[in-house]
Amino acid sequence: MPVRQRSALIVLLLASTLTVMAGAAVMPVLELIRSDLDIDGVLAGFVITAHGVVIAAAGPLVGRLIDRYGVRRPLVAGLIVYGIGGSAGLITTDYPTLLASRVVLGLGAAVVFTGTTVALLSLYRGSERDRVMGWRSTATTIGGLVWPLLAGALGGVSWHGAFAVYFVGVPLGIAAIRFLPDDADRDGGAERAGGAVRLLRRYPSLLGWYGLMLLMGLAMYSTAVFLPTRLAGIGVHSPLLVSLFMVASSLVAAVSGLLYARIRGRAGLGALLRFSLACWTVGFVLLAVTGVYPLVLVAGAVFGLGNGLLLPVLTVLIGDTPSVHDRGTATSLSGTAMFVGQFASPLVFGPLIEATSVATGFAVAAVLCGAAFVVLAATPIRTPRNESDPESEVDGEPGSDAESESEPGSRPERAGRPG
């Protein structure tokens, strides 16, 4: 891989960690913020969730912007906005200003999420793309561990210090100017779906992939919110023991991301998709029925295995289903679906758990994941045709000669690079 392309890849992988960092970096100092600004728990929670709502709302507009102008310029701007908006917490002294800065952060994060995904899909093909998608999954997972640790260390001096980690977006934006290929010349006459609604009408299979992204946010975020309560119910109260669930999940996800290209060479996207849903189902069943802490760690590892494989699979399915000229819009809607699921998770599972128990809530999550697995098991999954991979896959089998999944009137498009 040429030096410039390797540098671009490093920038994109580092930038990919910023979306998961957006909320996670604040968690270690959230109680300090609540106490110092004299706000209740609900208002403090908005400091973590506000950016996700903005990503969900702004995503479709960001996608159309990237489809129209290319990746490089919006991504550079998004990284700088992310860095400035996120690090504004270093100097904010009141809640309204802090919340406004989180909205700005969300706008930058929306561009970063879509821009990095589109750039990686456009720059790489075939087995090289599989490796890069796996590396991205690993980078995102490691970022979800490292950034909160760094923010917590800086927040030990003052809660304002934790917000310094967000400034990394600015040097990454400058590096993107230097290393990302220029894609200013866009084919203005290229046929586009013309918006989210028309995109879904033209490529209805996207609805299924967005449904899985929604389920991913809905179900998996329930563990972050309600797992401590579940562990308290079986006599586990130590914060360290609670955190080991996430450590187990993250470590397995990171390893599976590194092995993704090798696994992908032996199994099709359909098989990996079903396997991931099976992992989710088993994980939630364990959380629902176990009264033994070691099985909780097993559940975390099972979740990590499923998540480490699912993200690159869904990224490719969503990015390659439409024309490359609609890839930005398609990718941005996946972010909308995932963050809507995260935001809705406490609203969906909270009343259910309040009326029953945490175990019942996890049992319902297991049923939802199991139902999704059954649907996928009964549905032939056709991998969209790729410009440099002329053989499509049907039902997850590599190398099938069957036709790729397409909608009436659609045709294979040549995928352009960001440069």
Q: Mean pLDDT throughout 356-360?
A: 93
For the domain made up of 1-183, give the CATH fold: Growth Hormone; Chain: A; (1.20.1250)
Q: What sign does the CA torsion over 179, 180, 186, 190 have? A: positive
pLDDT of residue 125: 86
Residue 243's contacts (CB-CB under 8 Å, 6 or more residues apart) are none
pLDDT surpasses 60 at 396: no
pLDDT of residue 407: 37
Cα separation, 170 vs 142, in Å, equals 20
Contact between residue 312 and residue 137 where contact means Cβ atoms under 8 Å apart: yes
Q: Mean pLDDT throughout 264-283?
A: 94
- pLDDT, tens digit (0-9, with 9 covering 90-100), for 276-292: 999 999 999 999 999 99
pLDDT of residue 34: 87
Run of H or E including 94: none
pLDDT surpasses 70 at 169: yes
Confidence of residue 259 (pLDDT cuts 50, 70, 90): very high
Task: Give me the helices (H) in 124-157, please.
Answer: 126-155
pLDDT of residue 388: 39
- pLDDT, tens digit (0-9, with 9 covering 90-100), for 103-136: 999 999 999 999 999 999 988 888 899 999 999 9
Fold agreement (1-183, 194-406):
yes
Domain ranges for the chain, please list them: 1-183, 194-406
Backbone dihedral region for residue 284 (phi beyond 0: left; psi -120 to 50: alpha; all else: beta):
alpha
**Residue that has been written with the tokens 């220029």 in this structure:** 182
pLDDT surpasses 50 at 327: yes
Confidence of residue 385 (pLDDT cuts 50, 70, 90): low
Q: What is the CATH number of domain 194-406?
A: 1.20.1250.20
Fill in the DSSP letter of residue 237: -
pLDDT of residue 386: 52
Nearest-Å Rg of the Cα atoms of the chain is: 21
Cα separation, 216 vs 206, in Å, equals 15
- pLDDT, tens digit (0-9, with 9 covering 90-100), for 52-89: 899 999 998 999 999 988 999 999 999 999 999 999 99
For 326-373, the DSSP string reads GHHHHHHHHHHHHHHHHHHHHHHHHHHHHHS-HHHHHHHHHHHHHHHH
Cα separation, 169 vs 82, in Å, equals 6
